[in-house]
């Protein structure tokens, strides 16, 4: 599921409602059928993977320690092993990258490591906030492909926030278009392309094709 | 005699600090019973920071020692407010004071009457109000003195201020700025004697005597026992109408000594009436102009008076003849310097440690309570703007003199850089890393421990470093309230115009500041977590 919209459309706010970084003024948010407002935010967050635009890796921790963060917080003894396995999955062999610090990685490698960190505790849902936004076009395509392969393999639910309609169509089964805090249209890419519900969605599609 | 003037200036700034003393003095009973400990401890002799005070204090000390009393010297302790506050609390037992200063500066009364009247007045009020005792005057007064060159005196037939009034309109006067402005200065001379010089040039004390000798001016003001009067052989014109308030020198004795040690009082009274202005002027000249050690000059004076026989002894036990090279001088003082350095390190380290233990938790608390942060940090910053001397003087009524108030003042000074850097360091620690760690389920406590504090460590350390360097410098002022350290030779050297003595304190203090800055700079880099690009944390934290 991708959430598409321009800056200020409310897509990041929507995403942050899921892991209770923000609580809603009205309405309810459910994850796996449970109202999140009844859940402890810290435990909820550990059950949901999260990646933000600049990765947000801890600059003073090695890649391995960063990746092992959530299992380590949970006190799991296999934290490092899980982290190594995840690094392998995202294409960062731990023996080569594990002991490096984030600033010793390229932008694409950092986003892969952030992805590995988000997946290390085996979450059911992954929240991605513009995870490919800061990468150059070539690197972005490469990391997007790696992500698509990974998702196919893990089969987990992903909420992807992006301003890039092409990216949404490439990666998502379903796409929601947001504007001024409201969802304009929600459906599979095919439906959006063939039957845009509002003039705004048509305009967005036109702009995306021009670009 | 620059000292009394400085004392007056500092005194004005510090009047708030001493006010509680005076108030509490009027409330409480004047004389407390003397504890046995006071009877047995050495007699503490202090002085104000100018040459004559050093010399008189040393004379008191050597006389007491010759009569079998143990003495603890605190030369150059501080201006009038500081020495007097310390005396009232029995932190010190004796210091040389002037009756006019007691009347005007301490009691805040108008000058009136003869020297005897003034002595009677201060004796009575100090005894009733503070339990402090004025011993009979030493025999000279150190008041304002108007001087001319001997040729001028001869050719114009000048002996008194009344004589000067006749010829003043043909003379150029060189006078201290404050003397020109004071009601009991030039204004009063005009009114009382009709002295109205052709031209009045404002001149500082330091250059006035030389200007008179060079015939650039014809008449100057000064203090009657200034060593320079003797050096140049100037003629002091007699105050034939008794215009200047009397400033008789005497020993001022604290409550415990006054009531508990009659033998010591008796020893000091041997000096009463024995020192005349000419003698004191000559002794001052040997110290101020010739640079002789205070202890030797004092010993000679006592020997001449027939009170103490035997060889002169300098304060540090060595015998200094002539002017050795600076390096030899530093070498001869090495043990003193070592002790002063040790004391200095103690002052800085203790205050810094206490400051750290308060500032870092406070900075963290403020980061959690942002609403209080600005006002609190601003409040701590205001402490920083209180002039050091004033802050030290404020401490005296509550904490007395010595190490405790000095460390307290240094502690207060050290808070601001450390609180500010802890607050900003933790607040500004890599926002993206903090946000994502929180979104992945770190608790606030874990965030602080594993993310924010490690990332803020170099910034906090930069605050510690700033505080430490400030404290090394400020601790030199602790000498003004008897806390010792490298400020001791600086204060004494300033009072005695002894550049080498000033440098023997200033150079080690500067080296210590550099060493502390360098050393803590290394620590700052070491506490920086690995994986960070080194940047100047000190600069990053500045607002």
Where does residue B310 rank: exposed (0-12), middle (13-18), buried (19+ CB within 10 A)?
A: exposed
Q: How do strand B146-148 and strand B219-220 relate by DSSP bridges? A: antiparallel
Q: Assess if residue B328 is contained within a domain.
A: no
The reply to whether B206 and B354 lie within a common domain is no
Pick the closest to residue A28 from A42, A40, A38, A13 (CA basis): A38
Give me B480's structure tokens.
């003004």
Angstrom CA distances, B368 to B217, B441, B448, stand at: 67, 19, 11
Q: How far apart are CA A87 and CA A121, in angstroms?
A: 13
The reply to whether B375 and B497 lie within a common domain is yes
Note whether B451 contacts A: Cβ–Cβ < 8 A. yes
Choosing from B202, B237, B272, the residue where a domain stops is B237
Where does residue B176 rank: exposed (0-12), middle (13-18), buried (19+ CB within 10 A)?
A: buried
Q: Assess if residue B330 is contained within a domain.
A: no
Choosing from B237, B264, B280, the residue where a domain stops is B237
**Using one digit for the tens of pLDDT, what is the confidence trace for A168-182?**
888 888 899 988 888
* pLDDT for B292: 87
The reply to whether B109 and B133 lie within a common domain is yes
Give A-chain residues touching B441 at CB under 8 angstroms.
Answer: 42-46, 70, 73
Q: How do strand A48-51 and strand A34-35 relate by DSSP bridges? A: unpaired
Contact B531 A52 (CB under 8 A): no
* pLDDT for B6: 40
Which structural domain, as residue segments, surrounds residue A124?
Answer: 2-210
The reply to whether B297 and B259 lie within a common domain is yes
CATH number, domain of A123, equals 3.40.50.300
CA B393: distance to chain centroid?
10
Give A-chain residues touching B437 at CB under 8 angstroms.
Answer: 56, 58, 69
* pLDDT for B18: 36
- DSSP 8-state symbol, B103: I
The reply to whether B345 and B476 lie within a common domain is yes
Contact A59 B442 (CB under 8 A): no
Which structural domain, as residue segments, surrounds residue B447?
Answer: 335-541
Cα distance from A69 to chain B (closest Cα, Å)? 8
Give B-chain residues touching A44 at CB under 8 angstroms.
Answer: 441
CATH number, domain of B78, equals 3.40.190.10
The reply to whether B105 and B169 lie within a common domain is no
Supply the ipTM of this predicted assembly.
Answer: 0.88
* pLDDT for A47: 87
The reply to whether B476 and B537 lie within a common domain is yes
The reply to whether B372 and B419 lie within a common domain is yes
**Using one digit for the tens of pLDDT, what is the confidence trace for A79-137?**
899 999 989 888 899 999 999 999 899 888 999 999 999 988 888 888 999 888 878 88
Q: What residue has token string 């906030």?
A: A129
The reply to whether B390 and B511 lie within a common domain is yes
In the predicted model, residues of chain B with pLDDT beneath 70 are: 1-40, 178, 182, 205-206, 310-324, 497, 533-543
Contact B126, B134 (CB under 8 A): yes
What φ, ψ does residue B421 adopt, rounded to 5°?
A: -70, -35
**Using one digit for the tens of pLDDT, what is the confidence trace for B110-142?**
777 788 889 999 999 999 999 999 999 999 988
Residues 6+ apart with CB under 8 A from B338: none
* pLDDT for B110: 79
* pLDDT for B248: 93
The reply to whether B159 and B43 lie within a common domain is no
Number of domains into which chain A is organized: 1
Q: How far apart are CA B232 and CA B210, in angstroms?
A: 9
* pLDDT for A37: 83
Note whether B13 contacts A: Cβ–Cβ < 8 A. no
Positions of E strands within B80-178: 94-98, 133-134, 146-148, 172-175
**Using one digit for the tens of pLDDT, what is the confidence trace for B463-502?**
999 999 999 999 998 887 778 899 988 888 877 767 888 8
Q: How far apart are CA B154 and CA B539, in angstroms?
A: 68
Bridge partners, residue A175, by sequence: A2, A187
Number of domains into which chain B is organized: 3
Q: How far apart are CA B280 and CA B236, in angstroms?
A: 14
Choosing from B213, B237, B261, the residue where a domain stops is B237
Contact A101 B437 (CB under 8 A): no
Contact B143, B111 (CB under 8 A): no
Buried b (16+ CB within 10 A) or exposed e, B282-291: bbbbbbbbeb
Phi-psi region of B323 (alpha: psi -120 to 50; beta: other; left: phi over 0): beta
Cα distance from B542 to chain A (closest Cα, Å)? 22
CATH number, domain of B421, equals 1.10.3720.10
Q: How far apart are CA A45 and CA B49, in angstroms?
A: 68
For chain B, what is the largest distance between any 2 Cα atoms, rounded to a whole number of angstroms?
98
Q: Assess if residue B375 is contained within a domain.
A: yes
* pLDDT for B134: 95
Note whether B183 contacts A: Cβ–Cβ < 8 A. no
The alpha helices in B400-486, defined as continuous H runs, are 403-427, 431-439, 444-446, 453-474
Q: How far apart are CA B177 and CA B244, in angstroms?
A: 17
Contact B531 A103 (CB under 8 A): yes
* pLDDT for A89: 86
- DSSP 8-state symbol, B30: S
The reply to whether B36 and B133 lie within a common domain is yes
At B91 the three-state DSSP class reads: coil
Q: How far apart are CA B210 and CA B383, in angstroms?
A: 42
Contact A19 B439 (CB under 8 A): yes
Give B-chain residues touching A39 at CB under 8 angstroms.
Answer: none
Contact B530 A21 (CB under 8 A): no
Contact A56 B533 (CB under 8 A): no
Contact B172, B308 (CB under 8 A): no
* pTM summary value: 0.67
Cα distance from B449 to chain A (closest Cα, Å)? 13
Note whether B16 contacts A: Cβ–Cβ < 8 A. no
Cα distance from A192 to chain B (closest Cα, Å)? 32
Q: How do strand A2-5 and strand A175-179 relate by DSSP bridges? A: parallel
**Using one digit for the tens of pLDDT, what is the confidence trace for A3-53?**
988 888 888 888 888 888 888 888 888 887 788 888 888 888 988 889 988
Residue contacts between A and B (CB atoms, under 8 Å): 74
Contact B421, B459 (CB under 8 A): yes
Q: In what order do the strands lie in the sheet with B133-134?
A: B71-74, B43-46, B94-98, B249-253, B133-134
The reply to whether B10 and B100 lie within a common domain is yes
Q: Assess if residue B74 is contained within a domain.
A: yes
Give me B63's structure tokens.
């006389």
Q: Assess if residue B419 is contained within a domain.
A: yes
Give me A98's structure tokens.
């594990």
Q: Assess if residue B361 is contained within a domain.
A: yes
């Amino acid at each position: 599921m991708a959430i598409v919209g321009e800056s200020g459309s409310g897509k990041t706010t929507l995403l942050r409602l899921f892991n209770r970084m923000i609580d809603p003024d009205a309405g309810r948010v459910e994850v796996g059928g449970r109202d999140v407002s009844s859940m402890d935010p810290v435990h909820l967050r550990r059950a949901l993977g999260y990646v933000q635009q600049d990765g947000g890796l801890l600059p003073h921790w090695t890649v391995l320690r960063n990746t092992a963060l959530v299992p380590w917080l949970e006190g799991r003894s296999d934290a490092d092993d899980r982290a190594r396995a995840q690094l392998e999955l995202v294409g960062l062999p731990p023996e080569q990258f594990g002991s490096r610090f984030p600033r010793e990685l390229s932008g694409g490698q950092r986003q892969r490591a952030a992805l590995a960190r988000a997946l290390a505790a085996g979450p059911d849902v992954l929240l991605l906030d513009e995870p490919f936004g800061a990468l150059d076009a070539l690197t972005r395509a490469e990391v997007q492909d790696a992500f698509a392969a990974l998702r196919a393999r893990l089969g987990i639910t992903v909420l992807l926030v992006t301003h890039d309609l092409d990216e949404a169509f490439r990666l998502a089964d379903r796409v929601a278009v947001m504007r001024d805090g409201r969802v304009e249209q929600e459906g599979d890419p095919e439906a959006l392309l063939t039957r845009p519900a509002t003039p705004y969605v048509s305009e967005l599609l036109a702009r995306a094709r021009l670009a | 005699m620059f000292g009394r003037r400085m004392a007056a200036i500092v005194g004005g700034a510090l009047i708030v600090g001493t006010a509680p003393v005076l108030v509490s003095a009027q409330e409480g009973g004047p004389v407390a019973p003397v504890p046995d400990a006071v009877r047995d401890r050495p007699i503490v002799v202090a002085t104000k920071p100018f040459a004559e005070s050093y010399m008189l204090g040393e004379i008191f000390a050597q006389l007491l020692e010759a009569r079998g009393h143990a003495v603890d010297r605190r030369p150059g302790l501080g201006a009038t407010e500081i020495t007097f506050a310390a005396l009232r609390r029995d932190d010190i037992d004796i210091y040389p004071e002037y009756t006019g200063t007691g009347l005007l500066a301490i009691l805040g009364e108008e000058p009136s009457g003869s020297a005897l009247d003034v002595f009677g007045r201060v004796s009575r009020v100090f005894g009733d109000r503070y339990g402090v005792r004025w011993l009979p005057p030493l025999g000279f007064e150190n008041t304002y003195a108007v001087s001319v060159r001997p040729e001028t005196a001869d050719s114009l037939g000048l002996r008194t201020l009344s004589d000067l009034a006749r010829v003043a309109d043909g003379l150029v006067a060189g006078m201290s700025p404050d003397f020109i402005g004071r009601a009991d200065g030039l204004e009063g001379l005009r009114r009382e004697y009709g002295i109205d010089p052709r031209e009045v040039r404002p001149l500082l004390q330091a250059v006035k005597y030389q200007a008179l000798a060079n015939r650039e001016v014809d008449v100057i003001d000064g203090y009657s026992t200034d060593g320079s009067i003797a050096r140049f052989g100037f003629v002091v014109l007699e105050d034939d109408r008794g215009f200047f308030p009397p400033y008789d020198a005497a020993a001022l004795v604290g409550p415990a000594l006054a009531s508990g040690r009659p033998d010591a009082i008796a020893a000091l009274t041997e000096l009463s009436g024995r020192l005349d202005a000419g003698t004191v002027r000559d002794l001052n000249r040997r110290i101020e102009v010739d640079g002789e050690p205070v202890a030797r000059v004092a010993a000679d004076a006592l020997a001449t008076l027939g009170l103490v026989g035997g060889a002169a002894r300098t304060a540090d036990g060595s015998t200094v003849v002539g002017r050795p090279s600076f390096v030899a001088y530093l070498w001869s003082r090495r043990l003193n310097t070592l002790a002063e350095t040790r004391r200095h390190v103690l002052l800085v380290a203790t205050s810094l440690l206490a400051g750290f233990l308060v500032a870092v938790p406070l900075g963290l608390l403020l980061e959690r309570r942002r609403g209080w942060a600005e006002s609190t940090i601003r409040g701590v910053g205001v402490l920083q703007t209180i002039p050091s001397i004033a802050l030290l003087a404020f401490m005296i009524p509550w904490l007395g003199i010595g190490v405790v108030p000095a460390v307290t003042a240094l502690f207060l000074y050290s808070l601001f850089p450390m609180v500010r850097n802890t607050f900003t360091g933790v607040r500004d620690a890599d926002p993206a890393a903090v946000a994502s760690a929180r979104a992945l389920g770190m608790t606030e406590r874990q965030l602080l421990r594993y993310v924010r504090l490690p990332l803020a460590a170099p910034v906090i350390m930069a605050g510690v470093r700033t505080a430490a360097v400030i404290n090394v410098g400020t601790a030199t002022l602790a000498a003004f309230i008897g806390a010792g350290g490298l400020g001791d030779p600086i204060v004494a050297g300033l009072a005695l115009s002894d550049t080498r003595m000033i440098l023997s304190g200033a150079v080690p203090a500067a080296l210590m500041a550099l060493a502390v800055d360098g050393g803590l700079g290394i620590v700052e880099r070491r506490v920086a977590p690995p994986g960070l690009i080194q940047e100047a944390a000190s600069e990053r934290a500045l607002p």
